[in-house]
A = this chain, B = another copy of it.
Amino acid sequence: MQTPASLDQLIEALRCLPGVGPKSATRMAYHLLQRDRKGANTLASALDTALQVVSHCQLCNTFSEQPICPMCASGARDSSTLCVVEMPTDMMMMEQTHAFQGMYFVLMGRLSPLDGIGPKEIHLEKLLKRAQDGLVKEVILATNYTVEGEATAHYVSELLSKHGVKITRIARGMPMGGEIEHVDAGTLAQAMMERRGL
Contact = CB atoms under 8 A, between A and B. Distances in A.
Copy count, this protein chain: 2
A18 B29 contact: no
A6 B49 contact: yes
A24 interface: yes
Contacts of A95: 1
B65 A30 contact: no
A167 interface: no
A61 to B, nearest CB: 10
Contact of A47 (B30, B44, B92): B44
Contacts of A64: 4
A54 B8 CA distance: 11
Interface string A45-78: 1111111011000000011110001110000000
A32 B9 contact: no
Contacts of A36: 16
A30 B70 contact: no
B4 A65 contact: yes
Nearest to A12: B46
Interface in A18-34: 18-19, 24, 26-34
A4 B54 contact: yes
Given A3-B92, A6-B54, A16-B39, 18 more contacts: A2-B71, A3-B88, A4-B54, A6-B50, A6-B53, A10-B54, A13-B46, A16-B43, A17-B43, A18-B27, A18-B28, A33-B54, A34-B109, A35-B109, A40-B47, A41-B47, A43-B47, A47-B47
19 contacts: A1-B69, A2-B71, A3-B63, A3-B88, A4-B63, A4-B65, A6-B50, A7-B50, A13-B43, A16-B32, A16-B36, A16-B39, A16-B40, A17-B28, A30-B63, A32-B47, A34-B109, A35-B109, A43-B44
